């Protein structure tokens, strides 16, 4: 008798618990949905201004007056475009390599100086990011022009006879781009180096490694995630870069992005421009995706 | 000093003196070129030699007296302020949602918010130009502000999210359990405590809009020509020293904003 009553009460309790759990889950879903909705206005704006036009460009890249076509993509095989693709990659690789060489020492020293000195160095690295891109391009134009500061000083010092041609060409573009990209290499490198436990270096020294060996065999491998993140950021930014090559290249450095601009502004050729744009976006996403698989996407963007 | 150990592996400062010299040179490379523009802007010569043959403020006078430059400056600052307001509010709202929401939606939405940073600027520029052509938004302030807001959103969302991460959300829950509505609890309990991130995000949004070139090249013009577009066109044609004066003023502004953001960071750290 008592047994049956207990069972009945228990069953009632369980079904009440079940109902409660159901209600709780529903409430949680509703709650989740309502907070997620807060992201909606921002998402809608991004959808309208970034995603819709890109979809449209994608559509146009396959269309001509007759309908579906691949002619815009076939045209990308012309020497003008393949050459400019080559220039884009050469410049991006070169700038990335120089950035690695310049960023590593400064990030390394930043992890070893006192707190105040590190703060000073960090501010100096951040300063270019906060300075207008055009101001920095202008500075390089002034410095590198034929009768510019660099040439005048080198001539006065008797190091050169003729002014060097370092502006409006590949060299000038490279210098300007390195200047723009360097902070984006230093910051992830520094973040990753700062997280390295110094005990590893002590242990290496303790086990008889010379400072140089400890550096190459212990420190460098541990800093690789930051280095990869920096490489990806810099390389991807270089691929689509427009302003600096357009100003410092003086028309002699034809980047992929400049071909896009030309096709729109001079020829109003949306087929070619959109095909070029689709290829640029595909390259960018492929690199991000590939490396994201390798080291984790969040590491690159520094998100959660 | 030079013989003292520099690191745990006992390398001495003397043995890596070259490293310090290298770092010094790299820092000079990073900072000096922009700063060199400041003395040049006070030159009295059309040709930008260094050191300038004589000093004057004629390029500043030229800048102030030119209505074209003045108008462009006003447009740029107006756009930057409106972008800052819109991007900071939309981005903070979104960061709150992304921080609280669970599941796959939150991840997808987060990636979507990063898109404007991932997609190459030139592609966004021609896309926006195409879109605005349909709605007559090219050469309008609204158009510039909307496009710049989208470009600033990733930075705002990332910055504010990092603020949420170091904040204990239970505090807001307590406020709500004591009867505060959700918006009220957010405004009076959460927002004051993540304000440093929100301020940094706002500064980033402001500078993003003020410095933006590539999209403005396509969609700004007419009465709403931005400073950057005018500067870009001037730089492509000839090296006009007026730009040295404008650049110096912009550098001053960058230094002020950077100091402000560093100050905010320090307040958070301390």
- State residue A51's pLDDT score: 96
- State residue A303's pLDDT score: 40
- State residue B124's pLDDT score: 96
Per-residue pLDDT at B116 exceeds 60:
yes
Q: What is the pTM of this model?
A: 0.89
Per-residue pLDDT at A1 exceeds 70:
no
Q: How confident is the model at residue A40 (pLDDT cuts 50, 70, 90)?
A: very high
Task: Please compute the mean of the pLDDT values over residues A150-172 and round it to a whole number.
Answer: 86
Q: How confident is the model at residue A27 (pLDDT cuts 50, 70, 90)?
A: confident
Per-residue pLDDT at B29 exceeds 90:
yes
Question: Which among A199-203, A237-241, A250-254 has the top mean pLDDT?
Answer: A237-241
- State residue A299's pLDDT score: 55
User: What is the enclosing helix (H) or strand (E) of A63?
Assistant: strand A63-64
> Sign of torsion, CA B78 B83 B89 B90?
positive
CA angle, A162 then A163 then A169, to 5°: 130
Question: Can you tell me the distance from the alpha carbon of A125 to that of A244, in angstroms, rounded to the nearest whole number?
Answer: 19
Task: Please compute the mean of the pLDDT values over residues A29-57 and round it to a whole number.
Answer: 91
Q: What are phi and psi of A214, to 5 degrees?
A: -60, -40
Q: Which tokens belong to B245?
A: 């004066």
Interface of B with A in 20-49 (CB under 8 A): 20, 22-23, 26-27, 29-31, 33-34, 36-37, 40, 47-49
Write out pLDDT tens, residues A71-125: 999 999 999 899 999 999 999 999 999 999 999 999 999 998 888 899 999 999 9
Q: Tell me the percentage of chain A whose pLDDT exceeds 70.
A: 92
- State residue B91's pLDDT score: 96
Name A64's bridge partners: A67
CB contact under 8 A, A257 and B122: yes
Nearest to B37 by CA among B231, B238, B246: B246
Write out pLDDT tens, residues B144-190: 999 999 999 999 999 999 999 888 888 988 999 999 888 899 999 99
Q: Name the CA dihedral angle for A123, A124, A128, A132, rounded to a multiple of 10 degrees.
A: 60
- State residue B9's pLDDT score: 66
CB contact under 8 A, B150 and A140: no
CA distances (Å), A243 to each of A234, A253, A270, A274, B9, in order?
Answer: 15, 12, 21, 19, 44
Query: Which class for A254: exposed (0-12), middle (13-18), buried (19 or more C-beta within 10 A)?
Result: buried
Per-residue pLDDT at A137 exceeds 50:
yes
Q: Which residue has the tokens 């021609």?
A: B126
Q: Is B226 helix (H, G, I), strand (E, B) or coil?
A: coil
CB contact under 8 A, A132 and B247: yes
A39, B98 in Cβ contact below 8 A? yes
* DSSP-assigned states of every residue in B15-46: GGHHHHHHHHHHHHHHHHHHHHHHHHHTBSSS
Question: Can you tell me the distance from the alpha carbon of A221 to that of B99, in angstroms, rounded to the nearest whole number?
Answer: 33
Q: Tell me the percentage of chain B whose pLDDT exceeds 70.
A: 96
Residues across chain A: 304
Rg (CA), chain B: 23
In angstroms, the separation between the Cα of residue B170 and the nearest Cα of chain A is 16
Mutual angle of helices B104-118 and B141-165, in 10-degree steps: 130
Best probe of the B interface among A132, A150, A258, by most B CBs < 10 A, is: A132
More confident residue, A297 or B95: B95
CB contact under 8 A, A281 and B120: yes
B246, B63 in Cβ contact below 8 A? yes
Interface of A with B in 89-108 (CB under 8 A): 102, 105-106, 108
More confident residue, A295 or A262: A262
Question: Which of A12-16, A49-53, A117-121, B232-236 has the least mean pLDDT?
Answer: A12-16
Nearest to B39 by CA among B178, B269, B241: B241
User: What is the enclosing helix (H) or strand (E) of A67?
Assistant: strand A67-68
Write out pLDDT tens, residues B61-101: 999 999 999 999 999 999 999 999 999 999 999 999 999 88
Question: Which of B22-31, B121-130, B253-262 has the least mean pLDDT?
Answer: B253-262
**Interface confidence (ipTM) of the complex:** 0.89
Closest partner CB to B19 (pick from A105, A142, A202): A105
CB contact under 8 A, A149 and B98: no
- State residue A297's pLDDT score: 56
Q: Which tokens belong to B223?
A: 């009465």
User: What is the residue-averaged pLDDT of chain A?
Assistant: 88
DSSP code for A24:
H
A121, A109 in Cβ contact below 8 A? yes
Query: B181: Cβ–Cβ under 8 A, 6 or more apart, which residues?
Result: none
Q: Which residue has the tokens 């070129």?
A: B33
Task: Please compute the mean of the pLDDT values over residues B34-45 and round it to a whole number.
Answer: 88
Mutual angle of helices B242-269 and A115-130, in 10-degree steps: 140
- State residue B10's pLDDT score: 66
- State residue A149's pLDDT score: 81
In angstroms, the separation between the Cα of residue A205 and the nearest Cα of chain B is 5
Write out pLDDT tens, residues B191-215: 999 998 999 999 999 999 999 999 9
Please check whether residue A109 touches B, CB under 8 A. Answer: yes
């Amino acid at each position: 008798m008592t047994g049956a009553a207990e069972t009945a009460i228990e069953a009632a309790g369980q079904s009440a618990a079940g109902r409660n759990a159901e209600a709780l889950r529903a409430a949680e879903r509703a709650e989740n949905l309502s907070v997620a909705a807060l992201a909606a206005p921002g998402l809608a704006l991004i959808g309208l201004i970034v995603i819709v036009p890109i979809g449209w460009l994608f559509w146009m890249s396959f269309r001509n007056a007759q309908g579906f076509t691949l002619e815009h993509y076939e045209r990308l095989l012309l020497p003008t475009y393949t050459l400019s693709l080559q220039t884009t990659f050469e410049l991006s690789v070169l700038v990335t390599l120089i950035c690695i060489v310049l960023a590593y020492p400064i990030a390394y020293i930043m992890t070893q100086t006192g707190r105040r000195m590190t703060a000073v160095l960090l501010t100096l690295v951040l300063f270019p990011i906060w300075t207008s891109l055009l101001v920095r391009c202008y500075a390089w134009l002034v410095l590198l022009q034929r009768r510019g500061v660099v040439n005048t000083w080198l001539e006065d010092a008797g190091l050169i006879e003729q002014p060097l041609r370092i502006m409006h060409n590949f060299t000038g573009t490279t210098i300007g781009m390195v200047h723009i990209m360097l902070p984006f290499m230093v910051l992830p490198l520094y973040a990753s180096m700062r997280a390295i436990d110094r005990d590893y270096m002590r242990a290496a020294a303790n086990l008889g490694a010379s400072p140089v060996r400890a550096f190459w065999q212990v420190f460098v491998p541990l800093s690789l995630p930051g280095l990869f993140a920096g490489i990806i950021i810099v390389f991807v930014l270089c691929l689509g870069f427009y302003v600096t090559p357009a100003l410092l290249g003086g028309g002699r450095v034809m980047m992929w992005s400049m071909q896009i601009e030309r096709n729109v502004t001079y020829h109003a050729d949306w087929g070619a421009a959109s095909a070029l744009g689709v290829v640029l976006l595909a390259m960018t996403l492929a690199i991000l995706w590939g490396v994201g698989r390798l080291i984790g996407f969040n590491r690159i963007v520094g998100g959660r | 000093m030079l013989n003292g150990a520099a690191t745990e592996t006992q390398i001495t400062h003397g043995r890596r003196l070259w490293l310090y010299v290298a770092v010094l040179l790299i820092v000079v490379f990073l900072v000096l070129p922009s700063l060199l523009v400041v003395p040049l802007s006070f030159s009295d010569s059309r040709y930008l030699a260094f050191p300038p043959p004589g000093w004057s403020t004629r390029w500043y006078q030229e800048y102030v007296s030119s209505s074209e430059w003045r108008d462009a400056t006003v447009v740029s600052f107006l756009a930057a302020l409106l972008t800052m307001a819109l991007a900071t509010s939309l981005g903070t709202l979104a960061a709150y949602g992304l921080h609280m929401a669970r599941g796959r939606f939150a991840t997808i939405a987060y990636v979507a918010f990063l898109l404007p940073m991932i997609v190459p600027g030139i592609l966004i520029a021609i896309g926006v130009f195409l879109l605005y052509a349909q709605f007559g938004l090219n050469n309008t302030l609204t158009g510039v502000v909307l496009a710049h807001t989208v470009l600033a959103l990733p930075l705002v969302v990332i910055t504010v999210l990092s603020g949420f991460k170091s904040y204990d959300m239970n505090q807001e829950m307590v406020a709500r359990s004591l009867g505060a509505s959700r918006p009220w609890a957010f405004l009076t309990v959460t927002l004051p405590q993540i304000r440093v991130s929100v301020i940094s995000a706002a500064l980033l949004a402001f500078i993003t809009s003020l410095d933006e070139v590539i999209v403005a090249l396509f969609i700004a013009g007419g009465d709403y020509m931005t400073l950057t577009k005018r500067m870009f066109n001037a730089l492509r044609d000839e090296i006009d020293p007026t730009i040295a004066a404008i650049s110096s003023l912009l550098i001053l502004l960058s230094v002020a904003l950077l100091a402000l953001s560093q100050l905010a960071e320090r307040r958070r750290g301390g």
